[in-house]
Structure 1
Amino acid sequence: MQIPDIPNTHALIMLLLTAVALYFFRRDDIPLETSSLAVLVVLCLVFTVFPFEIDGKHLEPSSLFFGFGHEALVTVCALMIIGHALVRTGALVPVGRNLAKLWKISPTLSLLFTLIVAGALSAFVNNTPIVVLLLPILTSVAIRTQTDTSPMLLPMGLATIVGGMTTTIGTSTNLLVVSVASDMGLPRMGMFHFSVPALIAACVAIAYLWLIAPKLLPSRKALLPDTSPRLFSAYLNIDEESNSKGKTVAEILKLTDDQMTIESIQRKPDYRNIRPFPDTVLQEGDRLQVKDTPEQLKEFEAVLQATLFSGAHKVDDDHPLKAEKQMLAEIVVIQSSELDGRTLRDVQFAKRYGISVLALHRDGKAMDIGRRSIGNVVIHTGDILLVQGEAEQLSELRETQGFLIIDGASDLPYSQKAPMALLVLFFVIGVAAIGLLPIAISSICGILILLVTKCLDWKEASAALSSQVVLIVVASLALGSAMMQTGGAEYIAQLFVALAFDLPPAGVLSALMLMLAVLTNIVSNNAAAVIGTPIAVSVAQQLNLPIEPFILAVLFGANLSYATPMAYKTNILVMNAGGYQFSDFIRVGMPLIILMWISLSFLLSWLYLW
């Protein structure tokens, strides 16, 4: 084994930056957008302060911004918008309704059919809308049949990742690998270029998810049971003897240690509502409208020396507090939500929607925070909120983009624009499949049609985009390009070949795929794919072997994101909705990774190397 010589300084800096970037991409306490932007900034500063020359020409730092206009990013964003249109118009509702009916006939066959449908749809549509569609359906099925959701949700979520691997547009990872390979001079891969090995391996995966995975999963309880304290609306009447008379709102809030929230003040003689400004002075006869737990309300009554009323009755043993018309529901925060990356207080959630948040669930467990502190917690995609509100308020929230209500009884929206949204999807896929237009152009045309036909408006289209996806793609493309141009990728390839020098070509191919499979379960799959692609090209060139199978090894390896919740965004959604723990993903995901790795390694070697 011959260890390659140390590369140039710029290549070493790129390797160090790559390691640092992968570490920060993994951190949960730093937004992925911030880490991605930091990588891009550092790259530009390095090549500005320490210029690098390639074949007599300086590498221009501004050239690292090419990712913002890269066709892969344009296509990814366009397909995200089209997928969002399918959800907003309810175009996939017939699929969901038929699946729900089938579950009543045969749960075993229904699970198989659900896995196949989820995988097939994900081959052409971003899998997040598919998971968003199926989560309430499967939850509802479990409630009606009094069965556990555990054997259903995780296999369904993993099936969408498996299905997304089968076409070039199935995931942003595929699009990036194909586009980067094309940028490096390789022939452009068509939509179904690698579908044969992917579909064969997908059949193995679906069989595993149908027959074996449900048996590996333990029963999981509901995430946020109805044991959380309910909130009750009531009135605190300021009597003649009350020590609050003549005090300002700010002063009485201080008496309650700022625990009380006054929704409005009703003032005589006509009990009109006035706003509870801090300097508003309370008068005798004022009624403070508040909402809290019974214990807190009684505490406020004592501290303010007020009288607690519920409706027209004084609260006592004969007239206890009642939460009439109030319902509990679980709300999943999905990617397009305005809450993602913000706090409930930032968006004035309670005031805007008239709904109170009782508890917050994240990463498989309830967060140990007081209800008063929930408003200051930064919300992330996949978080689940236990909320309380009236049926009409919850119904309105259900129509708001960015929230998925898992109450087992929600009706999926369906509009007259649904057929048009489906036609646009078929148009985008069809013209790209036959080679009439590149997918980047056909998808942009599809968005224009959606806007002109009012299937979407610009606000909804922009809400479908993810700053995380945009910045991680741009930063990864820039880092991959810098590694390739400075020789960093070639050095890693030389080192990889040196370590695998005793292996046959098929063994090297398999080892490369395994390396990407491990990496994609730790960091972003897009970052792993973009950084791994130039390495794959260098490995193939050094071994004097066909480049295509090594590119596909990176593509498939970067898609094997089954073993950790953070490996793929839909894993987080499924984890929270099903109450799964980290160990459940390892228990089900690791065997699936091994199965797919063995299957795809054999298929790629058989089709390209033997």
Structure 2
Amino acid sequence: MNLPDIPNNHALAMLIITVIALYFFRRDDIPLETSSLAVLVILCLVFTVFPFEINGEHLEPSSLFFGFGHEALLTVCALMILGHALVRTGALVPVGRQLAKLWKISPALSLLITLIIAGILSAFVNNTPIVVLLLPILTNVALRTNSDTSPMLLPMGLATLVGGMATTIGTSTNLLVVSVASDMGLPRIGMFDFSFPAVIAGSIAIAYLWLIAPKLLPKRSPSLPDTSPRLFSAYLNINEDSAANGKTVTEILKMTDNQMNIQSIQRSPEYRNIVALPDTIIKEGDRLHVKDYPDRLKEFESVLQATLFSGAKKVDDSNPLSADKQMLAEIVAIQASGLIGKTLKQVQFARRYGLSVVALHRDGKAMDVGRRSLGNITIMTGDVLLVQGDAEQIAELKENRGYLIIDGASDLPQSKKAPIALGTLFLVIAIAAIGIIPIAISSLCGVLVLLVTKCLDWSEVSSALSSQVVLIVVASLALGSAMMQTGGAEYIAQLFVALAFDLPPAGILSALMLMLAVLTNIVSNNAAAVIGTPIAISVATQLNVPVQPFILAVLFGANLSYATPMAYKTNILVMNSGGYQFSDFIRVGLPLILIMWVTLSFLLSWLYL
């Protein structure tokens, strides 16, 4: 085995930066946007301080910004907006309603049809809207039939990932691989050029998710059951001997360690409401309207030496606190909600919707924070908020299509704009598939149609976009370009071929796909795809074999993000909604990766080598 010579200093620097980037991309405590921007800045600084010449031409650091105007990024953003329009207008609601009816007839057959529909839709639409549509439906089915959600939600989520592999627009990963390969001078891969192996492998995967995966999953409780703590509205009546009598609101709050939140003050004799300003003096006979957990309300009663009332009755053992007509609902934070990367205080959630957030779940478990601290926590994709409010407030929130509410979807309305959104998406795909105009242009035309027809406005367009996706794509493209131009990618390819020198080309192709499959479950799949594409081209060139199967090995391998929750954003949505644990993804995802890897390795070798 002859190992390749050590590459130039710039190539070594790119390899080191790549390792650092992949490490930071997987860190949960550092926002992905920050990691991506840091990688881009470091690359530019390296080539500014240490200039690099290629074939006598100086590599301009500013050229690394090309990702911001790259057709792959524009297409990804346009398709995200088109997918959001389907959710916003309720274009897919009829599909959901028919599935909900079918579940009542035959659950086993319904699961199969659900998996197939999820896979087919995800081949043409970003899978996040598909998961957003199906999660409430399946959860509602489980509640109505008194069955477990575990055998439904995770297989459904993985089915959308499997289906996304079938076309160039199925996932952003596919678009990036195809675009990077085209940038490097290879023939453009058509929308359905690799659908045949993807459909065959996907069919086997769907059978596994239908027949075997549900049996591997233990019963899990929903992330936020209805037994979670509720907030209770009550009144603290200030008596003559109350410790609060004669004190200001600021002084009273200090007595409760600033834990009490006074909604309003009712002052006799008419019990008119007055604003609880910091310097407002509390008098005998005042009633402080507060809202909190029962134990906290009793604590406030004791500290202030007041009398706790619920309505007109004193709270005691014979007259306990009552939440009246208050309802609980689970809200999953998705990109379109406008919550991602912000705190509840920043978006004024309570004032805007009239709802109180009583709990927050992240990564399948409740966050151990006080209720007053919830407003200061930065919301991440997949976080589940338990909110409380009356039925009208919950119903009003349902009308806001930016939120995913896990309590059933049978009453979700379909707007009059739904046919326009659905027809626009169909035309975008059809025109690109026929080859009239490229998908980058047709998708942007589709966004313009949605804006002109008022299916979406600009605020909804901006909420549909993900800063994480934008920056990870830009940083990955810059890193991939730098690796290719400095020779770093070629060195990895030479090292990879040297280590696998005993294997035939089919074995090297299979090993490449497996390497990408491992990488995509640890770091961003987009980063894995962009970095892996130039390596695949170099490997095929050195082996003197067709390049396309090695490109597809990267594409398929980077999509095998089944074994960890952080591998793909919809995995997080499913994990939190179904109460799954990390081990559940490994239990179901690893066999699925092996099935897809073996099947696709055989098909690519048979069809192309």
TM-score, normalised to structure 2, is: 0.98
- Contact 1:483–1:489 (CA<8 Å) still a contact in 2? yes
Q: CA deviation at 1:350?
A: 2.5
Deviation at 1:282, TM superposition (A): 2.0
Aligned amino acid, residue 123 of structure 1: A
- Compute the displacement of 1:386 (Å): 1.9
Q: Decide whether aligned partners of structure 1 residues 84 and 409 sit closer, same or farther in structure 2, where only a CA change above 3 A counts.
A: closer
SS at match of 1:394: helix
Distance in structure 2 (CA, Å) of the matches to 1:400 and 1:155: 27
1:283-325 Cα shifts (integer Å, max 9, x gaps): 3332211001222212212221222222222323443321110
Q: Which residue of 1 aligns with 2:601?
A: 601
Residue 23 of structure 1 aligns to a residue whose secondary structure is helix
Q: Name the counterpart of 2:105.
A: 105
Q: Is contact 2:360-2:374 (8 Å) kept?
A: yes
Query: Which amino acid is the alignment partner of residue 167 of structure 1?
Result: T
Which residue does 1:146 correspond to in 2? Answer: 146
More displaced stretch, 12-21 vs 342-351:
342-351
Shift of 1:329: 1.6
Measure, in 2, the Cα distance between the counterparts of 1:478 and 1:429: 28
Aligned to 1:185: 185
Structure 1 partner of 2:556: 556
Residues 200-239 of structure 1 mapped to structure 2, 5 A cutoff: 200-239=200-239
For residue 335 of structure 1, report the CA deviation from its aligned partner.
2.0
Aligned to 1:516: 516
Assess if the C-alpha contact under 8 Å between 2:336 and 2:460 holds in 1.
no
Distance 1:543 1:409 in 2: 53
Asked whether 1:337 is paired with 2:337, we answer: yes
1:574 aligned residue: 574
Deviations 1:435-454 (A, max 9, x none): 01100100000011101111
How much has 1:190 moved relative to structure 2? 1.1
Query: How far is the alpha carbon of 1:263 from its aligned partner?
Result: 1.2
- Pairing 1:13–2:26 present: no
Shift of 1:362: 1.5
User: Within 5 Å, which residues of 2 pair with 1:84-99?
Assistant: 84-99=84-99
Kindly provide the CA deviation profile for residues 342-376 of structure 1, in whole angstroms up to 9, marking residues without a partner as x. 22233332233222222221212222333343333
Residue in structure 1 matched with residue 4 of structure 2 by the alignment: 4
Displacement of 1:409 in angstroms is 5.8
DSSP 3-state at the match of 2:95: helix
- Which residue number in structure 1 is paired with residue 60 of structure 2? 60
For 1:257 and 1:360, locate their aligned partners in 2 and report how far apart those are by CA, in whole Å. 23
Amino acid of the structure 2 residue aligned with 1:323:
A
User: Partners in 2 of 1:221 and 1:229 — Cα distance?
Assistant: 16
What residue number does 1:383 align with?
A: 383
Describe how 1:9-88 pairs up with structure 2 within 5 A.
9-88=9-88
Partner secondary structure for residue 387 of structure 1: strand
Contact 1:331 1:386 in 2 (8 A): yes
CA distance in 2, matches of 1:228, 1:158: 29
SS of 2:229's equivalent? coil
In structure 2, the partner of 1:436 is: 436
SS in 2 for 1:280: coil
2:584 is the counterpart of 1:584: yes
User: How far is 1:591 from its partner?
Assistant: 0.7
Which residue is 1:351 aligned to? 351
Paired residue for 2:479?
479
What corresponds to 2:405 in structure 1? 405
User: Equivalents in 2 of 1:273, 1:184: separation in Å?
Assistant: 70
In the other structure, the counterpart of 1:163 is: 163
Q: Distance in 2 between matches of 1:564 and 1:475?
A: 23
Query: Is the contact made by 2:7 and 2:488 (CA closer than 8 Å) also made in structure 1?
Result: yes
Confirm whether residue 194 of structure 1 aligns to residue 194 of structure 2.
yes
Offset of residue 377 of structure 1: 2.5
Counterpart secondary structure, 2:190 = coil
Amino acid at match of 1:89: T
- Letter of the 1:107 partner, please give it: P
In structure 2, C-alpha distance between the alignment counterparts of 1:198 and 1:509, rounded to whole Å = 16
Contact 1:88 1:413 in 2 (8 A): no
The answer on 1:273 being equivalent to 2:273 is yes
C-alpha offsets along residues 221-278 of structure 1, whole Å, 9 cap, x if unaligned?
A: 2222233322110111223332322211111000011110111222345433332222
Q: Give SS of 2:276's match.
A: coil
Q: Specify the code of the residue in structure 1 equivalent to 2:581.
A: Q
Separation of aligned partners in 1, 2:456 and 2:124? 19
Matching residue's letter, 1:359:
A
In structure 2, what is the Cα distance between the partners aligned to 1:64 and 1:163? 32
Equivalent residue, structure 2, for 1:262: 262
| Secondary structure in 1 matching 2:174 | helix
User: 551-560 or 237-246: which moved more?
Assistant: 237-246
Counterpart CA distance in 2 for 1:307 and 1:6 is 79
Q: Secondary structure at the match of 1:336?
A: helix
Q: For residues 583 and 317 of structure 2, what CA distance do their matches in structure 1 show?
A: 48
Q: How does 1:117-156 map to 2 (within 5 A)?
A: 117-156=117-156
Task: Give the structure 2 partner of residue 296 of structure 1.
Answer: 296
1:498-521 Cα deviation digits (max 9, x unpaired): 001110010010000000000000
CA distance in 2, matches of 1:72, 1:261: 49
Q: Which stretch shifts more, 430-439 or 385-394?
A: 385-394
Q: Is the 8 A contact 1:52 1:59 kept in 2?
A: yes
Contact 2:301–2:308 (CA under 8 A) maintained in structure 1 = yes
CA distance in 2, matches of 1:316, 1:165: 61
The residue that corresponds to 2:460 in the other structure is 460
SS at match of 2:247: coil
**Corresponding residue pairs, total:** 609
Greater Cα offset, 367-376 or 502-511: 367-376
In 2, the alpha carbon distance for the partners of 1:538 and 1:275 equals: 70
Cα distance in 1 for partners of 2:107, 2:161 equals 22
- Give 1:393 deviation, angstroms: 1.2
Letter in 1 for 2:505: P
Q: Is the 8 A contact 1:103 1:110 kept in 2?
A: yes
Farther-moved stretch of structure 1 (399-408 vs 89-98): 399-408
1:247 alignment partner AA = K
The one-letter code sitting in structure 2 at the alignment partner of 1:113 is I
Structure 1: stretches of 5+ with no match in the other structure:
none
Contact 2:97/2:410 (8 A) holds in 1: no
Does 1:506 pair with 2:488?
A: no
User: 2:88–2:402: 8 Å Cα contact kept in structure 1?
Assistant: no
The answer to whether the 8 Å contact 1:40/1:475 transfers is yes
**In the aligned structure 2, how far is the partner of 1:500 from the partner of 1:452?**
55
TM-score (norm 1): 0.98
Q: Deviations over 1:322-349 (max 9, x none)?
A: 1110112221111222221222233332
Residues 126-135 or 405-414, more deviating: 405-414
Q: C-alpha distance in 1, partners of 2:527/2:409?
A: 39
In the alignment, the residues of structure 2 paired with residue 392 and residue 31 of structure 1 have an alpha-carbon distance, to the nearest angstrom, of 36
Residue in 1 that maps onto 2:419 = 419
CA pair 40-378 structure 1, distance change in 2 beyond 3 A: same
* Number of the residue aligned with 2:373: 373
State the SS of the aligned residue for 1:169.
coil
Q: 2:260 is aligned with what amino acid? A: M
SS at match of 2:375: helix
Q: Distance in 1 between matches of 2:335 and 2:240?
A: 52
Query: C-alpha distance in 2, partners of 1:517/1:317?
Result: 60
Is residue 119–residue 164 contact of structure 2 (8 Å, CA) maintained in 1? yes
Moved more, 108-117 or 363-372: 363-372
Q: 1:231 & 1:69 partners in 2: Cα distance? A: 49
Letter in 2 for 1:536: A
Letter aligned with residue 363 of structure 1: D
Q: Which amino acid aligns with 1:503?
A: L
The question of whether the paired residues in 1 share the 8 Å contact of 2:238 and 2:285 is answered with yes
2:282 corresponds to: 282
Cα distance in 1 between the residues matched to 2:303 and 2:410: 42
Listed as ranges, the gaps of 5+ residues in structure 2 are: none
